[in-house]
Amino acid sequence: MAKKKIVKKKVVKKAPAKAASKKTTKKVAKKTTKKTPTAKRVKSHARAERDAQTSDKLTGLAQNIVDSVFAGKEPEMDVPVRAASNTNWNEKKRILEMGDSVGNRQLFNLGQARKFMQTLLHSTSVSDLIEQDKTSSLRGMFYKSLHTIEGTKEKTFDDQTESDGILEDLEVSLGSLREELHIFAKKRGTMVGNITVIDSGDEINCRKMGSGGYAIPSICEPDVIQFKDVKADFILHVEKDTVWQRFNEDRFWEQHNCILTEGSGQPTRGVRRMLHRLHTEHKLPVYCLLDCDPWGHYIYSVIKQGSISLAFESQRLAIPDAKFLGIRAIDYDRCELSDDVKISLNERDITRAKQIAAYPWFEKDKQWQKEIKKMLTNGFKMEVESLITKDISYVTEEYVPARLKAKDWLG
């Protein structure tokens, strides 16, 4: 009888003890989850000040519209014209600049109402980003403001191109850079060489980046990117990743004490901003190794003088002293290349070449006139990769070192 009582007591005691244990665990877990803090970026003084200024501009834009409504006037806004007709060549500064022409965008004008609405939608999204201290991609901004207007089948944006154009309008209207609007583009471009970069607080030694290199970010402003241990003598910028890989694998940057960058074709703002900052802040010469065709010439023109679409940013992007290292129209003969490297110029190439030759900064340059004329006379274009027909490392071991030593470039 005694044994039975003991067993019964043990069973009764264990059961509630387990239940209590489970309840306690649940409560503790729930409590802990609630108290987990959300990580926040610490703003620098400069960044906080910049955000406050941008917010004030956005508020001013909205206030002007509200004031017009209460005054019984049609809401409208002025947007600087981003076109060749409103782009001026500043010969003294040697850069392209935006002119003074302004377009008026009105709410009750059927031809302008859509863009008026889109501008305000993106203004609201930018304001939200600044308030939350977060950033968004161009693609993200498109989706953030994309919806079907109630009661219709009309969408606020047809595609991302339309959205990107409105964001550029907003930039020039506010006099703020895209980075100040907390918007970034897709990363495109790579860097390696004798430099250490501080990226959002993380120290990155670009001498130890393996075969991949450091991906140049879209936002390269001083409050995000800082430079440390800049030991390089110059920057070699190449057009494509395929060429960059050859230079990196051959350790060209190590042997010639430089920084090696590539822009995957037409360089993004991030790449151009990185080059501009390194050039102006550390006095590093910039040499461009690009294709011998109108598109390679245009890429050089954009790096050197700026572009029509981004003329309002030339002051912080253009590098007037950048040099064109090659490949040159005369290289077919002087490098004794084979007929296999020739790519015939088509009508589009010829038309584009003539347009580039007429650019004010090329028009009076005898070297460039001679270069473009020689290419047109040849009747063919060439890619940097064509030098591989000589030897796999001809471009890194012979061509570029010889051009640099002889100071054989176009300015």
Residues marked as catalytic: 143
User: How far is the CA of 400 from the CAs of 247, 270, 279, 361, in angstroms?
Assistant: 10, 25, 20, 25
Q: Which residue has the tokens 């430089």?
A: 258
Q: Sort 282 into a burial class: Cβ within 10 Å, 0-12 / 13-18 / 19+.
A: middle
Report d(CA 80, CA 62) in Å as an integer. Answer: 18
Report d(CA 226, CA 197) in Å as an integer. Answer: 6
User: Do β-strands 214-215 and 190-193 pair in parallel, antiparallel, or remain unpaired?
Assistant: antiparallel
Are 324 and 361 in contact by the 8 Å Cβ rule? The answer is: no
Cross-strand bridge partners of residue 97: 88
Report d(CA 95, CA 276) in Å as an integer. Answer: 13
Are 345 and 301 in contact by the 8 Å Cβ rule? The answer is: no
Q: Which of the 8 DSSP states describes residue 133?
A: T
Report d(CA 84, CA 96) in Å as an integer. Answer: 10
Report d(CA 400, CA 394) in Å as an integer. Answer: 9
Report d(CA 331, CA 141) in Å as an integer. Answer: 45
Length in residues, the chain: 411
